[in-house]
Structure 1
């Protein structure tokens, strides 16, 4: 009886180890890229299709207001009396002369605002990649999970993402940054080989021409990070 229980326990342990090994193998196997929509591109195309509004004719525009430096209306004076023209500049000078000198000294002091701490970049679990095959002219926008299964584009190019984050609110440029590892591994070969790495580093969505993948056959760059 004890021997049977021991054999059952060994069998269960073996199945558990085999299942864990199979899961690890499946996580290492790349999955095919799936196209996703481009909401930014759709919005730009809709804006280009919107009708252009023609400007109103000059006759329908409101008359221009008089300049601030023009003199005020001349009051009606009795015949023979001298006419005095009072300009806005003269009125301001008269008010400043009548103000007591203590008014300037009693002006409240403006305290400098405290310097806010710099914001932190927020990490996202999914990176959006755009890849192009320059030979077949195939282009695709697809997603890659951070730390998840690699994604294969066009049966050869394999993408793995280690991090993806967006710029902080206080940064001058709104950007998305991702750390990618890109390799080449032909599909359908008789003896599977390890992917040959052709890119490893950070990609910036704001400068794809500088940080993107530049290859004789493929071009790829990061588009954004999704929650």
Structure 2
């Protein structure tokens, strides 16, 4: 109960720690088969689904801090196991804290690496001025 109270207190703290997020069109996830040791990085666009082993992984959304795109990413995932009717995971995963909201599966792990962010637009170059021009 104390833990729930702490979470509510942190949420009530409001905008002081709030951060604006931007939506990305794609995200990069890492998949691990704990039995074979096989890993793969998977790039998915929003709404796209990939199959890895018995898992079907769909990226529902990916977002990142607008003021620092290289920083922490959050992705909403729906993960299904071919042997189970309901999703084995459906929710947000946070790249810096994968254990906070993790896939609980005996064989597979999936975690978010980052969102695919747009390339920064270079600032326009100012025209070069010559020394002594206009004298």
Determine if the TM-score, normalized by the shorter chain, exceeds 0.5. Answer: yes
1:127 is matched with 27
CA deviation profile, 1:33-57 (whole Å, cap 9, x unmatched):
xxxxxxxxxxxxxxxxxxxxxxxxx
Deviations 1:61-98 (A, max 9, x none): xxxxxxxxxxxxxxxxxxxxxxxxxxxxxxxxxxxxxx
The CA distance in 1 between the partners of 2:39 and 2:94, in whole Å, is: 19
Q: Indicate conservation of the 8 Å contact 1:176/1:205, yes or no.
A: yes
Offset of residue 213 of structure 1: 1.4
- State the Cα distance separating 1:119 from its structure 2 match: 5.8
* Separation of aligned partners in 1, 2:100 and 2:19: 26
Alpha-carbon separation, structure 2, partners of 1:196 and 1:218: 16
1:132 Cα deviation from its structure 2 partner: 0.6
Of 89, 96, 114, 1:199 maps to 89
**Match among 104, 128, 131 for residue 214 of structure 1:** 104
- Contact 2:88-2:104 at 8 Å conserved across structures: no
Determine which structure has greater relative contact order: mean sequence separation of CA pairs < 8 Å that are 6+ residues apart, divided by chain length. 2
The answer to whether the Cα contact below 8 Å between 1:158 and 1:183 also exists between their aligned partners in 2 is yes
Match of 2:38 in 1: 138
Q: Deviation of residue 185 (structure 1)?
A: 1.3
Secondary structure of the 2:87 match is: strand
Higher strand share: 2
2-structure distance, mates of 1:182, 1:119: 27
How many Å apart are 1:120 and its aligned residue?
Answer: 2.7
For structure 2, list consecutive stretches of 5 or more residues without a partner in the other structure: 1-17, 118-135
Unaligned runs of 5+ in 1: 1-117, 187-193
With normalisation by structure 1, the TM-score equals 0.40
Residue 195 of structure 1 deviates from its aligned partner by 5.2
Name the CA distance, whole Å, in 2 between partners of 1:139 and 1:195.
Answer: 25
Contact 1:125 1:226 in 2 (8 A): yes
